[in-house]
Structure 1
């Protein structure tokens, strides 16, 4: 009888200790191309939304020709066009740059009120503490701020910095929706956007885009630590000819927050 009880205790302890590790092993990010390639105007990819869905149900990116902002939420993939229209993407739609995960929250927090992007960063920093990992971030709440989208580009493609100068900015006020995005550490510079890279989509699917500035009320924060990372590179000549070793951090910072 004592042996039986000890066995049960061991089994319970084993399940408790191994369950978090099992959950974390599923937090894998799948990335198409590099942010430096996008900065150089590599806007054509062979990877489809159907491909992305095999690797994740949550994420952000853009579409071929830099045609709008991509948002993946709960397995549905959306395009925020420069007109403000939000379209559900077909499986055949292609992307030159995207990041997706099968979202599984391992930390949950609350944001009562933040008035600007800097305050949001500080609030998220208090939740994200192991700064050597990538994190997927989901925030449900009431959003007020500015988002943007960029219209489809024509060849010869301009750099992302040049294309962003013609971005369309949307004012969003007291709108329920979800922030979707990632936080990446400094060492991913050139591969992805270091720091916070966030998109927004409203619950009614009528507004959204890449977040330039924001305030959030009654926010429910869910964070997923990424312990596995896979990147797939394009095979086209544009990517092969791109100068990927250049430091674009200054230009990228302007693109991310330009208004």
Structure 2
């Protein structure tokens, strides 16, 4: 695995019907990268991987270090080798995404995004752990908890995925946040950047690992389903 490869376990599409059982251990996942995002079995919270450490933001809002034996149904990781892309300031979340696209110069490549700095406001969410029999991905919206923080220092990190690979990924930006004091974070729904240093990393290779030995995955039928619409509803 090189710095030009983005590694992904599972797909967004497999989460749509409720395939939330963990199918890879965190320790194995981190053999493919030192940085990334994901979730645990049952969509239990939001993961942030930074410098080889894995943090979970739970639905309670608490942040903890994840054990290597815990399992993920979906995650992305890579080896950090960012390029500095300047600083940005006083941007609402939607405007920030637009500026990132300008800096990237294309919407047809995978990118890792990292912004460290001061945020005027951050709006996040984390889903509570689901139990078997698992609900659909869209249904988990009722189990998510939302959080807000003002004037917080931290890191916004995650990925941009091209629409070319919709289904395997959620097209567009998928970003998580973790405060410097590890007291706040989650999947980012909105906010405003006060001032931050932007780093980008483009990938030339996308390695997708599938849970082919999982019985539920082998039997699931995705034909004819409105997978992309449901991914959009769940991610936004």
Matches within 5 A, 1:194-213: 194-213=171-190
Matched-pair contact (CA < 8 Å) for 1:73–1:180: no
Higher Rg: 1
Q: Give 1:107 shift.
A: 4.6
Matches within 5 A, 1:53-202: 53-115=30-92, 117-143=93-119, 144-202=121-179
Point out where structure 2 has 5 or more consecutive residues left out of the alignment.
none
| Aligned match of 1:19 | none
Distance 1:112 1:43 in 2: 37
Point out where structure 1 has 5 or more consecutive residues left out of the alignment.
1-24
Matched-pair contact (CA < 8 Å) for 2:101–2:107: no
Instruction: Return the match for 1:249 from 213, 228, 231.
Output: 228
Matched-pair contact (CA < 8 Å) for 1:137–1:180: yes
Matched-pair contact (CA < 8 Å) for 1:150–1:168: yes
Distance 1:99 1:247 in 2: 23
Distance 1:168 1:26 in 2: 34
Q: Give 1:31 shift.
A: 0.6
Matched-pair contact (CA < 8 Å) for 1:139–1:179: yes
Distance 1:130 1:163 in 2: 32
Instruction: Using structure 1 for the length normalisation, give the TM-score.
Output: 0.86
Structure with the bigger percentage of strand: 2
Give the aligned CA root-mean-square deviation in angstroms: 1.3
Distance 1:217 1:207 in 2: 17
Q: Give 1:243 shift.
A: 2.8
Q: Give 1:46 shift.
A: 2.6
Distance 1:158 1:52 in 2: 25
Aligned pair in 2 of structure 1 residues 96, 109: CA closer, same or farther (>3 Å)?
same
Structure with the bigger percentage of helix: 1
Please give the per-residue CA displacement for 1:168-200, whole angstroms capped at 9, x wherever unaligned. 000111110001100011111000110000000
Distance 1:173 1:229 in 2: 36
Instruction: Using structure 2 for the length normalisation, give the TM-score.
Output: 0.94
Instruction: Return the match for 1:49 from 2, 12, 26.
Output: 26
| Aligned match of 1:8 | none
Q: Give 1:44 shift.
A: 1.1
